[in-house]
Structure 1
Amino acid sequence: MTDAVEDGTASPALLCATSTSGRFCETSTTPSRTAAARPATLRTILVADDLEAALAGAVTALSEHSAQAAYAALRGRIPWLGPSFFTKFLYFAGKTVPPANDPEPLVLDRVLARRMRSLASQVGRETGHDPDGSIARRVWRDQDWSPHRYQVYLSFLHAAAHQAASTDGWPSDASLDLLEYALFNTAWMYASPSGHLPA
């Protein structure tokens, strides 16, 4: 797939299908309407009239501007193709078409937003700026994040990865997506500045 993208033989729609199909085609031991609808939803996305143009425009925005600009170019363009899925497309596109500015694109979905909400809530309680977590809940809602929020997420993960790489507990040459993967797959434990974990 990477070779096809680099030499121009893979269409953006093919990259989109490849990057999102795993999530749409997941199987579950407990059938649900949502699981049953996933293949139909993917078909709906892939036959959208302006899918090719929207994805190509996002790749152009990425190569000429930034991941935030590419995110903005896709937000709300294709029915059923929300940030949880189009950031997967941006992630894979960014592996072959690096952004002109700012950090490389990463996946942002509901799980990662909830991890960010948990972390922001803890910091807000400790600092007294958000004692009840209401700001964190609003800022890190479950869907439809703004391009600005996506940029904040990318900036945070880049800074966190840089900070982690300066410690003995994290590989100094680890790729940024390793931190994203850890955040997605691990219960997030935040240590306060005093070194104590939250109760």
Structure 2
Amino acid sequence: MGRQDLADALDDEMGRRLLPPTAVRALGLWLAGSGAPYVTGAGGHAVEYVPAQWSGVEPWPVEFPERSRTGTARISRAQVVASTRGAAERSEWAEALVASYVWGQGRTGYGPHRLKEILSEPTVDDELAKAGAALRREGAVAAYHGLRGAVKGLGPAFFTKFLHFLDQGHVLDQAYSLDQGQSHDLATDASVAPRALILDQRVARVMRAHATRVGADMALTSASDVAAWIWSDSGWTSHRYGVYLAWIHSATEQLASAGIGWPGSCPELLELALFDGVWNPAS
């Protein structure tokens, strides 16, 4: 078996097993405890940032506080969704990226400098616009494929945030259209495809630990090496992103049927829980 064959076998087994009972218990306890504010979804999950630290970043989201504010502010996922959707409606793609990037960096001091460099790239607006069109017409994996390596300095840990918040806005638009008895303009393939979710280093490391354990259980040759290869710290292929989305969405369905009160329509809640370290596969 070649390394790719081993990776495919491991992916298939993870797709069959999904979450072990220990994970379901840990996630259920979290949802009943510190995760209780998210029982209806992750929209209230907020981060702190300092507006004044982003004073040189343009364009600034119109919904965000003025950058003369030197104290901390809080921005929630729901607020980023609204800001991203508004910017996309005006075709202000760089503004949509700024909203998701600020949320993703929080109070990290080097974030503004990195974002300025990204925004200075001459192709950034065109590439973000193309990704937005691909997301709406073809789905998250196609949009990911288009953005991977397209803008210098903009890696998947941050452009998946852009895609996620943009896609959340699409979901709200679809729900409103259905409530009003209207059709929406998304292509059939995109409307049934897994929703875009954030994939970053912390989430990938949880997936790596889980893959290592599953691989060992199935006596897979070099299980830890294969898991480290497919769930590296960055640079994931569009195929890997598709595997991740399929696994998260299937695991969300598993949790929704486990009797722990998990909301079945919120795969982003599982992403949040993995990011927060609610479940440690290595323990």
TM over 0.5: yes
- TM-score (structure 2 length as normaliser): 0.60
- What amino acid maps onto 1:108 in structure 2? L
Distance 2:85 2:135 in 1: 19
* 2:153 pairs with 1:83: no
Deviations 1:53-93 (A, max 9, x none): 10010011111101000001100011110000000000011
Q: Residues 24 and 156 (structure 1 numbering): CA distance in 2 closer, same or farther, change over 3 Å?
A: same
Deviations 1:6-56 (A, max 9, x none): 6x22511101011012334524xxxxxxx4x43221101112111111001
Cα pair 2:93 2:129 within 8 Å, conserved: yes
The ranges of structure 1 where at least 4 consecutive aligned residues each deviate by more than 4 angstroms after the TM superposition are none
- TM-score (structure 1 length as normaliser): 0.84
Provide the residue aligned with 1:13 in structure 2: 94
Question: How big is the shift at 1:171?
Answer: 2.0
Provide the residue aligned with 1:32 in structure 2: none
Provide the residue aligned with 2:224 in structure 1: 133
Cα pair 2:148 2:156 within 8 Å, conserved: yes
Question: Gaps spanning 5+ residues in structure 1: where?
Answer: 28-34, 191-197
Cα pair 2:252 2:267 within 8 Å, conserved: yes
* 2:135 pairs with 1:62: yes
Distance 1:144 1:159 in 2: 23
Distance 1:39 1:130 in 2: 44
**Of the two, which has the highest radius of gyration?**
2
- What amino acid maps onto 2:100 in structure 1? S
Question: How big is the shift at 1:132?
Answer: 4.5
2:199 to 97, 108, 119: 108
Deviations 1:84-141 (A, max 9, x none): 0000000011012354441000000000110100100010111111454110000000
Cα pair 2:252 2:270 within 8 Å, conserved: yes
* 2:242 pairs with 1:160: no
Give % identity: 34
Distance 1:57 1:170 in 2: 38
Give the RMSD, CA atoms, in angstroms.
Answer: 2.0
Cα pair 2:156 2:235 within 8 Å, conserved: yes
Give the count of matched residue pairs.
183
Provide the residue aligned with 2:165 in structure 1: 92
Provide the residue aligned with 2:122 in structure 1: 49
Cα pair 1:157 1:180 within 8 Å, conserved: yes
